[in-house]
Chains A and B, each alone.
Chain A
Amino acid sequence: MSAEVINKEDGSRAPAGEKSKAATILKVSDLKIHFPIHKGLFRKRVGEVKAVNGVSFEIKQGETLGLVGESGCGKSTTGRAVLRLYDPTAGEVIFEDRDIAALSAEEMRATRPRMQMIFQDPQACLNPRMTVGSIIAEPLVEHTSLSGQQRREKVMELLEAVGLNADYVNRYPHEFSGGQRQRIGIARALALDPDFIVCDEPIAALDVSIQAQVVNLLEDLQRERGLTYLFISHDLSMVRHIADRVAVMYLGKIVELSTVEKLFDDPKHPYTQALLSAVPVANPEIEASRERVILTGDVPNPSNPPEGCVFCTRCPVAVKKCFTVPPVWRELNPDQFVACHLVE
């Protein structure tokens, strides 16, 4: 790994490998987010969607943790909970030694600018009645004392950084293409120079060249200012490129967490293996001749997860025990964790 980290105090570069010694910026312990299910005329509570069901991980200052997993497994919910956009049902989110859930509204307001989110659905954060310029400037108005002129300069700088034409500054969100809108969301998230960003599918709507430009930008910021990322993505080759460590989620739980090298070279969990085998390759000959691993079996329901291992209903190698006993989360090797009965 050629990555370097920056020591925040004196700005000196730390050699590769130092990241693991850096301070922990975020610590999530046994996080649960359950959404109530209501039914009937009186909206009686009849159960809950266990979107996130006991998730623990740490991220070090200046590190990128990749978060991958099946659609609907709870990645966005985890990301939102980390920024306290949801209140946890149980568990803790510690950001720089302070429990996010315990912060007062005023303390949260002071912390907000340092933690930002690039939303999966750019629509969610783009007010249709505001021009792009004012959307990006809004956090600057709220949290900084920049003058109007300084704000305009900053907005132009941000637009250029994400590859958008500065001529577009007075356009409205609906006047942009899907990928252009996503970049507006990225520019807005970067406006306040945050320390930590939850990137939820930040590049999914972008062509490969713009993806490269945005990822290079995120990496430059990390190198120059020690930014920390939780990088949620379905694009495994990009995760492989940008992440230091990767967590694999399935049905509300993390099933494997390793360094990027170990995860891609030696995936341990059967779900991770299935996932890696399904990555499409940009070569028609290889694509025509390959056998896709199609997962079969019942797709489990997060309001009623299986009793044993979360993956048991679709696991190609499951044995009896997997259906009844949840596997323990254990460290196989340093920096390599897995929850599976069958891994030695």
Chain B
Amino acid sequence: MSGGVLRNSTEEVPVVQKGDSVLSVQDLRTVFHTQDGLVHAVNGISFTLAPGELLGVVGESGSGKSVSMMSLLKLLPMPPAEIVEGSVHFGGRDLLQLSDAELRQLRGGDIGFIFQDPMTSLNPVFNIGFQIMEPLRIHMGMNKKQAADRAVELLELVGIPSARQRLRDFPHQFSGGMRQRVMIAIALACDPKVLIADEPTTALDVTVQAQIIELVKGLRQKLGMAIVWITHDLGVVAGIADKVAVMYGGQIVEYSDVASIYSDPRHPYTQALLRTLPTQEGGRTGRLVSIPGQAPNLNAPPAACSFAPRCEHVGPKCWAANPPLFDIHGQHSSACWLESEGGTA
């Protein structure tokens, strides 16, 4: 991998005005219709993203990270999924109101998406060369030769050896981490303005991960690409994020600049999550710490704090109503009654 940025040309760096946002999500709610009734997977999510900004999204497994991001571009099969409320503003339009044809134009073009599960999103019957070249031909109007050259360039950028030779290989001939890097290459192919990356480095060793992170840093600086990066790796978040959203039970329960999440975590779930980190130093530790209790059942919209059954600070307010996000200072907010006026739960 040669580092650097995707294109060497002298394309203009977008002029970023303070307060501008490329993506603005308001009160997004998504449910699934199942045999056993509704599953309330996303329960009112709002956030904005400035050009070049990187929002790290962390949170419990099953808390709605993937479903909320897939809802933005209507990437979920509907039914069973239904987006019951919300708006997603991008380039002056509400994506949730667009037709399928208009959305297809955006997906893989202005908005790149890296799926959590590369094996389900790469098509097993097409070779990977075709799968990278297809969006280049559709969105960038390249001919076959141009698209092939660019595909090789992209695969080299994500560190796939002998890239040209491998264009004709099928997904099953790649290792887990190589498939993930093919997904990254596809998502980056058309220089998107917004990249949504759902656990893009889980199958990568730390040195290749570091290379991908450098690549992404370059793209942010040079192209002003804005990024949502979902991950369970709190070390990765510490290194790349500007802002962090912590999710629990289909909601953002804490939102903050990256430094405060680690130095001053406010939501009891965030605090508990940080306590579960295994220590890097020293020898073999005893039992690892996990958060006692079970993830919330999502069969009803939250009427109380969804973390209450597992929370060590729980009080009467927590059972009575679902706490909104309370401002703590500047960019930091927490959905916990401890932050409400009076400071009691």
Binding site for B on A (CB under 8 A): 1-3, 35, 49, 68-72, 76-77, 120-121, 123-124, 163, 165, 167, 170-171, 175-180, 183, 201, 204-213, 215-216, 219, 234, 236-238, 240-241, 260-261, 274-275, 278-288, 292-295, 298-304
B162 touches A301 (CB 8 A): yes
The smallest C-beta distance from A72 to any residue of chain B, in angstroms, reads 4
The smallest C-beta distance from A137 to any residue of chain B, in angstroms, reads 19
A216: B residues at CB distance < 8 A: 287-288, 290
B285 touches A71 (CB 8 A): no
B330 within 8 Å of A (CB atoms)? no
Cross-interface CB contact of B289 among A170, A210, A212, A219, cutoff 8 Å: A212
Sample (13) of A-B pairs whose CB atoms are under 8 Å apart:
A68-B205, A123-B119, A176-B62, A177-B62, A207-B58, A209-B290, A237-B278, A278-B210, A285-B259, A287-B238, A299-B161, A301-B165, A302-B161
A275: B residues at CB distance < 8 A: 205-207
Cross-interface CB contact of B262 among A284, A293, A303, cutoff 8 Å: A284
Contacts A208-B278, A234-B206, A294-B210 known; list 5 others, CB within 8 Å.
A76-B175, A170-B36, A261-B283, A280-B238, A284-B258
Looking at chain A's contact residues, the main secondary structure is: mixed
Known contacts A69-B205, A167-B297, A292-B210, A178 near B161 by CB under 8 Å: no
A35 touches B173 (CB 8 A): yes
Alpha-carbon gap, A2 to B119, bound state (A): 39
Known contacts A175-B32, A280-B233, A299 near B61 by CB under 8 Å: no
Contact with A along B293-329 (1 / 0, CB 8 A): 0110100000000000000000000000000000000
B286: A residues at CB distance < 8 A: 2
Known contacts A123-B119, A205-B61, A210 near B290 by CB under 8 Å: yes
A294: B residues at CB distance < 8 A: 3, 207, 210-211, 214
B283 touches A179 (CB 8 A): no
A178 touches B117 (CB 8 A): yes
Known contacts A208-B234, A300-B161, A120 near B207 by CB under 8 Å: no
B291 within 8 Å of A (CB atoms)? yes
Alpha-carbon gap, A166 to B176, bound state (A): 30
Alpha-carbon gap, A279 to B209, bound state (A): 9
A178 touches B116 (CB 8 A): yes
B272 within 8 Å of A (CB atoms)? yes
B237: A residues at CB distance < 8 A: 282
Q: Name A122's closest neighbour in chain B (CB-CB).
A: B117
Cross-interface CB contact of A281 among B202, B235, B259, cutoff 8 Å: B235
B209: A residues at CB distance < 8 A: 234, 278, 280
B208 within 8 Å of A (CB atoms)? yes
A201: B residues at CB distance < 8 A: 176, 202-203
B295 touches A281 (CB 8 A): no
B273 within 8 Å of A (CB atoms)? yes
Count residues of B near A (Cβ-Cβ below 8 Å).
75
B119 touches A212 (CB 8 A): no
Alpha-carbon gap, A294 to B211, bound state (A): 6
A293: B residues at CB distance < 8 A: 207, 210
A71: B residues at CB distance < 8 A: 175-178, 181, 203-205, 208
A241 touches B59 (CB 8 A): no
Alpha-carbon gap, A288 to B213, bound state (A): 13
Known contacts A205-B202, A234-B204, A3 near B284 by CB under 8 Å: yes
B288 touches A280 (CB 8 A): no
B277 touches A208 (CB 8 A): yes
Q: Name B41's closest neighbour in chain A (CB-CB).
A: A177
B162 touches A281 (CB 8 A): no
A207 touches B60 (CB 8 A): yes
B211: A residues at CB distance < 8 A: 294-295
Q: Name A72's closest neighbour in chain B (CB-CB).
A: B175
B290 touches A206 (CB 8 A): no
A211: B residues at CB distance < 8 A: 232, 276, 288
Alpha-carbon gap, A3 to B278, bound state (A): 17
Alpha-carbon gap, A274 to B205, bound state (A): 11
B276: A residues at CB distance < 8 A: 208-209, 211-212
The smallest C-beta distance from A291 to any residue of chain B, in angstroms, reads 11
B159 within 8 Å of A (CB atoms)? yes
Known contacts A120-B203, A179-B62, A234-B203, A283 near B34 by CB under 8 Å: no
The smallest C-beta distance from B246 to any residue of chain A, in angstroms, reads 11
B283 touches A282 (CB 8 A): no
Q: Name B289's closest neighbour in chain A (CB-CB).
A: A212
B10 within 8 Å of A (CB atoms)? no
Alpha-carbon gap, A300 to B162, bound state (A): 8
Cross-interface CB contact of B234 among A69, A177, A282, cutoff 8 Å: A282
Known contacts A170-B35, A205-B202, A303-B162, A240 near B290 by CB under 8 Å: no
Alpha-carbon gap, A68 to B36, bound state (A): 42
B9 within 8 Å of A (CB atoms)? no
A284 touches B259 (CB 8 A): yes
B203 touches A204 (CB 8 A): yes
Alpha-carbon gap, A123 to B34, bound state (A): 21
Alpha-carbon gap, A121 to B118, bound state (A): 9
B239 touches A260 (CB 8 A): no
A209: B residues at CB distance < 8 A: 60, 272-273, 276, 290-291
B288: A residues at CB distance < 8 A: 211-212, 215-216, 241
The smallest C-beta distance from A225 to any residue of chain B, in angstroms, reads 17
B1 within 8 Å of A (CB atoms)? yes
B259 touches A179 (CB 8 A): no
Q: Name A286's closest neighbour in chain B (CB-CB).
A: B238
B236 within 8 Å of A (CB atoms)? yes
Alpha-carbon gap, A77 to B119, bound state (A): 17
Cross-interface CB contact of B61 among A69, A76, A179, A236, cutoff 8 Å: A179
Alpha-carbon gap, A318 to B214, bound state (A): 25
B285 touches A213 (CB 8 A): no
B214 touches A177 (CB 8 A): no
B280 within 8 Å of A (CB atoms)? yes
